């Protein structure tokens, strides 16, 4: 049933619906990891520290949930299940790991769904943000990289995590002394997910020629990324609260400066230092450390630089 839906969409995409492919490719870009991180970083540094921390906290939880669900279900990508499914353009290059649930959709459920569940935002804005989640989710089906159940579960799980994060951040605001407890529990859960992904058995299916269709250890790479992102945010968040305490109550010129310098620094980290770490350290440790550095820069290193530089 799910593959048949993708084939119907594929026929439409390759025929009268070709004009939508470019637009939905841009929509799917909104759910990519680097896009999500940069958007959340800019909000955290330049717009609202509290709202940015909420998004990053929820996203960290979503990455853990997504990683655990992927290595539990071990669902193959649509084109592996049925060779008739041909993903659009180069969209297959960003489709890493197992298929269920959709990581792009859960990223969108964090950034946009995270705003949609916040009752303190204007209703019109919340509706628009909800529509963006649906567009990103549908784009994954339209491009042929995820099945309907992948994105539906991604929407539900991602939005649920964000709703729980609203409650968590409200509780931390009332009990600020409990922040270390939150971090300890979060890191403990991340460690448990990493161990689970490392020791669990993975299916080994082969094609008619005897070639292994999917290497489970390679697919688990997405889970170790999520663990790195989660631990990085939690450690950066607690360190910032203890030793930095920067503010987003600043002038417009400072906001623009932070945006420009911060994004430039992020791309230096992600395009230079991250690949260097992966080249030097193989396997899960290299994946963990490279992803850790990216988000630790966002949550602590750049705010620490800001506090020192802007003070001077």
- The pLDDT value given to residue 194: 95
**What average pLDDT does range 106-114 have in this prediction?**
93
Q: CB under 8 Å to 126, separation ≥6 — which residues? A: 115, 116, 117, 118
pLDDT of 230 higher than 90: yes
**What average pLDDT does range 96-110 have in this prediction?**
90
- The pLDDT value given to residue 94: 72
What is the residue-averaged pLDDT of the chain? 91
Q: How many helices (H) and strands (E) does the chain have?
A: 15, 0
- Least confident range from 31-35, 86-90, 92-96: namely 92-96
- The pLDDT value given to residue 284: 86
Sign, Cα dihedral of 125, 264, 102, 189: negative
* 288-306 pLDDT per residue, tens: 999 999 999 999 999 999 9
pTM for the whole structure: 0.92
pLDDT of 138 higher than 70: yes
Contact in structure between 233 and 56 (CB atoms under 8 Å): yes
Q: Tell me the backbone φ, ψ of residue 206, rounded to 5 degrees.
A: -125, 160
The span from the CA of 46 to the CA of 289, in Å, is 26
Tokens of 171: 């509780």
The span from the CA of 28 to the CA of 137, in Å, is 8
Tokens of 11: 């026929």
The span from the CA of 8 to the CA of 115, in Å, is 33
Contact in structure between 81 and 181 (CB atoms under 8 Å): no
pLDDT of 155 higher than 60: yes
Return the higher-pLDDT residue of 162 and 213. 162
Q: How far is CA 234 from the centre of its chain?
A: 15
- The pLDDT value given to residue 195: 95
Local structure of 48: helix, strand or coil: coil
- Least confident range from 67-76, 94-103, 150-159, 258-267: namely 94-103
**What average pLDDT does range 214-219 have in this prediction?**
78
pLDDT of 95 higher than 80: no
Q: Break the chain into its structural domains and give their ranges.
A: 2-311
Element housing 191 (H / E):
helix 179-199
**What average pLDDT does range 102-106 have in this prediction?**
94
- The pLDDT value given to residue 312: 54
The span from the CA of 164 to the CA of 161, in Å, is 5
- The pLDDT value given to residue 311: 67
Percent of the chain with pLDDT over 90: 69
249: left (phi over 0), alpha (psi -120 to 50) or beta: beta
**What average pLDDT does range 150-155 have in this prediction?**
95
């Amino acid at each position: 049933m799910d593959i048949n839906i993708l084939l119907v969409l594929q026929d439409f995409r390759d025929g009268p619906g070709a004009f939508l492919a470019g637009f939905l490719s841009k929509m799917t870009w909104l759910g990519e990891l680097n896009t999500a991180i940069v958007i959340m970083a800019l909000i955290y540094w330049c717009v609202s520290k509290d709202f940015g921390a909420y998004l990053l906290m929820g996203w960290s939880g979503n990455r853990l949930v997504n990683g655990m669900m992927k290595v539990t279900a071990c669902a193959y990508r649509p084109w592996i299940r049925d060779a008739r499914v041909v993903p659009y353009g180069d969209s297959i290059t960003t489709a890493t790991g197992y298929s269920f649930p959709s990581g792009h959709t859960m990223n969108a459920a964090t950034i946009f769904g995270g705003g949609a569940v916040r009752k303190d935002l204007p209703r019109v804005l919340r509706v628009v943000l909800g529509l963006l989640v649906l567009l990103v989710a549908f784009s994954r089906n339209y491009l042929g990289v995820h099945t309907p159940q992948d994105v539906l579960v991604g929407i539900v799980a991602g939005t649920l995590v964000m709703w729980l994060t609203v409650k968590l951040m409200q509780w931390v605001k009332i009990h600020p002394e409990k922040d270390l407890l939150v971090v300890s529990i979060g890191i403990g859960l991340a460690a448990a997910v990493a161990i689970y992904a490392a020791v669990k058995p993975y299916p080994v299916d082969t094609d008619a020629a005897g070639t292994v269709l999917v290497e489970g250890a390679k697919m688990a790479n997405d889970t170790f990324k999520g663990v790195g992102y989660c631990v990085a945010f939690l450690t950066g968040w607690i360190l910032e609260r203890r030793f930095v305490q920067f503010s987003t109550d600043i002038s417009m010129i400072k906001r623009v400066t932070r945006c420009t310098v911060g994004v430039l620094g992020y791309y230096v980290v992600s395009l230079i230092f991250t690949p260097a770490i992966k080249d030097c350290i193989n396997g899960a440790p290299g994946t963990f450390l490279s992803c850790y550095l990216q988000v630790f820069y966002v949550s602590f290193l750049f705010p620490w630089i800001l506090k020192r530089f802007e003070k001077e």
